[in-house]
Chains A and B, each alone.
Chain A
């Protein structure tokens, strides 16, 4: 009964006769989703402003005699002279586990038709990134499930790793594979009931993308059973630039909730090139001074303040960021790519040439780097994949020289053969991430020359056969690699016995 009384009392409080103070202004002009307002003498920077008809805006330009404001909603019904009022609130979005499995817009409102979201908390969209003292160095791995990345360009929890490449080189695919891999790890980990297991929740922010692509991504995640661990923030190309500008910040706020509540989260910004374009559009309409390529002067700060929010916090959780940048004709020295490269802790560069040669994922080993991830790599991956990057670099160098002549000494030929096999082995179909124990087993077989006698064209088939063999017959061995995370003598003996047996059956089948 007391609950009912409380409800009535709160209703009375709402209807009390106390005067409410509002700071108001009027619309001077509205154009391209941006309104110029008179009045609003008390408005704060980034404060939400209430327009007639329920639309809200954010005050972005505070000038001497006018306020520039982006409108989040339908601008068609707004007209000159309409009254606007301050709300005293900064823009916030709903956060929490209730958002998992849902698709929301830049303001956190559901757009998937699955009904309202029962979120208990909201977080401000703009927030100062965690400071130095509360941070902890990156030393826990985040497995992407892509062998080329996990073995050579490892990513740690709390890291910012840029995915960069031309259009159609598989940037989004890497991100989706990573999300699917987190879901698979979560399922295995949660089912095992291990006390120290920390699931990774994912946030996928789609900025300026075609709606059909977003739908395809959602379908892929749903089919892989990953949607239940994922929140999708969608600001597609049809959305107004203000929503496209805000979406990554809303996604970061959703991710921060997981981080600050002792959980681990992964956020994908797909992509920040389009985000910069949306911000440029808003800035030009707001008549802010433009700089290089007509981007405003604070476009670096736009991305640095966003990506600095990814961190690993001492005693709490982590937020790992995978920003995506689309290059034009492989030009990584353009304005936005260089900005984001300098902000992040490494980059995975995808090459069109490799993609067209059928090497997928088209990771350019020479140009890709992970600055902090190696300290997060588990021992078994270091043991089996430590020399791979060097071997591949050597292969690329030799391959370039080998094109000019046919007379090669035996050592060079062996290095070329081995390199070609590594390249084949790293080919991986999309939406099919590999568990880290399987990657370790395959790389161990490569290290111990089990693939040397196999024809280069047969390496992919051989690797698939090894995977099938280990999955169906040696599940306990894989489990012990996963649990021990290092190559002990017993595991190595088990791997040797298994590889010998597999090799014999594979040779017999041929």
Chain B
């Protein structure tokens, strides 16, 4: 179902209510969900899907997903956390995700930004250049 303009606007407003001091507040999210259940606004499923999208995008901005082909130490994750926290000026937590397709190296994803330093990435660049 296509979201009406009002539903989009409401989802955006609910999302803004859920962010406190630049981070998503679990308490506020629970409050928003309670309000939706109680008041039953128009297009509730669409509204909640939109709301979920906004929240997920916001959470992704504070999460560094570190894809790796070899082993990654806690120290490396801490270092990445520090660097990303400084870069994005918000608390960023790092989590490791193994991905053997990378062959070697790391790929860090924060929100829609991707930092790639992998052999697979270099090979892809090389193949497109040839």
Interface residues of A (CB under 8 A from B): 14-15, 17-25, 38-42, 54, 64-65, 85
* Cβ distance B39 to chain A, nearest Cβ, rounded Å: 24
Establish whether residues B117 and A17, one from each chain, have CB atoms under 8 Å apart when the complex forms: yes
Interface residues of B (CB under 8 A from A): 12, 53-54, 57, 105-106, 108-109, 111-117, 121-122, 125-126, 128-129
Number of A-B residue pairs at CB separation under 8 A: 50
Given contacts A19-B116, A20-B116, contact A41 B121 (CB under 8 A): no
Establish whether residues A18 and B117, one from each chain, have CB atoms under 8 Å apart when the complex forms: yes
Given contacts A14-B129, A15-B126, A65-B54, contact A41 B111 (CB under 8 A): yes
Chain A residue contacts of B53, Cβ below 8 A? 38, 65
Complex CA gap A409/B15 in Å reads 88
Complex CA gap A17/B112 in Å reads 22
* Cβ distance A69 to chain B, nearest Cβ, rounded Å: 14
Establish whether residues B113 and A22, one from each chain, have CB atoms under 8 Å apart when the complex forms: yes
A-B contact pairs, 17 of them (CB 8 A): A15-B126, A17-B105, A18-B117, A19-B115, A20-B115, A22-B116, A23-B113, A23-B114, A24-B112, A38-B57, A39-B57, A39-B112, A41-B112, A41-B113, A64-B12, A65-B54, A85-B114
Complex CA gap A25/B57 in Å reads 11
Chain A residue contacts of B114, Cβ below 8 A? 21-24, 85
Establish whether residues A20 and B117, one from each chain, have CB atoms under 8 Å apart when the complex forms: yes
Chain B residue contacts of A22, Cβ below 8 A? 113-114, 116
Residue of B nearest to A18 (CB): B117
* Cβ distance A17 to chain B, nearest Cβ, rounded Å: 6
Chain B residue contacts of A18, Cβ below 8 A? 117
Complex CA gap A22/B126 in Å reads 16
Chain A residue contacts of B122, Cβ below 8 A? 14-15
Chain A residue contacts of B121, Cβ below 8 A? 20
Complex CA gap A22/B12 in Å reads 27
Complex CA gap A18/B106 in Å reads 11
Complex CA gap A240/B122 in Å reads 32
Establish whether residues B112 and A14, one from each chain, have CB atoms under 8 Å apart when the complex forms: no
* Cβ distance B12 to chain A, nearest Cβ, rounded Å: 8
Establish whether residues A14 and B115, one from each chain, have CB atoms under 8 Å apart when the complex forms: no
* Cβ distance A301 to chain B, nearest Cβ, rounded Å: 26
Chain A residue contacts of B105, Cβ below 8 A? 17
Establish whether residues A14 and B125, one from each chain, have CB atoms under 8 Å apart when the complex forms: yes
Chain A residue contacts of B54, Cβ below 8 A? 65
* Cβ distance B113 to chain A, nearest Cβ, rounded Å: 6
* Cβ distance A42 to chain B, nearest Cβ, rounded Å: 7
Complex CA gap A19/B113 in Å reads 12
Complex CA gap A20/B128 in Å reads 15
Establish whether residues A24 and B117, one from each chain, have CB atoms under 8 Å apart when the complex forms: no
Establish whether residues B115 and A21, one from each chain, have CB atoms under 8 Å apart when the complex forms: yes
Residue of A nearest to B61 (CB): A41
Residue of B nearest to A83 (CB): B114
Complex CA gap A65/B125 in Å reads 29
Complex CA gap A499/B57 in Å reads 84
- Sort A-B residue pairs by CB-CB distance and give the 3 closest, nearest first: A39-B112, A19-B117, A19-B115
Residue of B nearest to A85 (CB): B114
Complex CA gap A65/B111 in Å reads 13
Complex CA gap A65/B106 in Å reads 28
Complex CA gap A85/B54 in Å reads 20
Complex CA gap A419/B65 in Å reads 83
Residue of B nearest to A26 (CB): B112
Chain B residue contacts of A39, Cβ below 8 A? 57, 111-112
Chain B residue contacts of A38, Cβ below 8 A? 53, 57
Residue of A nearest to B8 (CB): A65
Establish whether residues A23 and B112, one from each chain, have CB atoms under 8 Å apart when the complex forms: yes
Chain A residue contacts of B108, Cβ below 8 A? 19
Chain B residue contacts of A42, Cβ below 8 A? 112-113
Chain A residue contacts of B12, Cβ below 8 A? 64
